Amino acid sequence: MFLRNGVCLSSEEQIWEAFLKYPRVMSASEDKIAKTMEFLVNTMGIQPSVIAKPGVVFRRSLEKHIVPRGLFVQDLISNGIAIEFTFSSLFDISDEYFLNRFVYRFKDKAPELLKLYKQKVDAAAGGKYKTQKIHWTFW
């Protein structure tokens, strides 16, 4: 395991796997990789091996993309809305597809979801987000 400021960055083998599959991972700065891993591992409770395999998450903006989506889906799960998704399907899709799949799809069950998602986007942009660790299961 590689540690940076107490953040587990995964095993060397997983880092190489991510690099070989997605060479652009290495174009991300060490700071961006560390902050992304810190949020996903320490805040969201996702296993490093799940993050390292697709590697696509390091191409995305932490503030505009990763944090709002992560916090939003965490709220869905915490509120008992059952959804099935893969790690890549959460973070490696367009904004339009994300909204259709995770927000508009549940508007009958929870009409306030679009407002909630916008709150997550605003909170992430300001660096002010709160979350609770939940058990993530990816299919």
Whether residue 42 contacts residue 7, with contact meaning beta carbons closer than 8 Å, is answered with yes
Q: What is the DSSP letter of 22?
A: -
What pLDDT shows up at residue 14?
63
- Residue finishing a domain among 59, 76, 94: 59
* Strand residues in 94-135 grouped as ranges (E): none
d(CA 52, CA 95): 22
Number of structural domains in the chain: 2
Same domain, 20 and 40: yes
Dump pLDDT digits (tens) for 10-50: 566 766 766 676 666 667 777 887 888 888 888 888 887 77
6 band by pLDDT with thresholds 50, 70 and 90: very low
What pLDDT shows up at residue 106?
79
Same domain, 66 and 121: yes
Same domain, 81 and 35: no
Q: Residue 112: give the domain boundaries.
A: 62-125
The pTM of the full predicted model, rounded to 2 decimals, is 0.71
Same domain, 66 and 106: yes
Asked if the model's pLDDT at residue 3 lies above 60, the reply is no
Dump pLDDT digits (tens) for 101-129: 888 887 777 778 778 888 888 887 776 65
Same domain, 79 and 90: yes
d(CA 93, CA 96): 8
Residue 3 pairs in a beta bridge with: 8
Q: Is residue 34 part of a domain?
A: yes
d(CA 127, CA 100): 25
* Alpha carbon separation from 105 to 74, 94, 108 (Å, rounded): 16, 15, 8
5 band by pLDDT with thresholds 50, 70 and 90: very low
Same domain, 84 and 112: yes
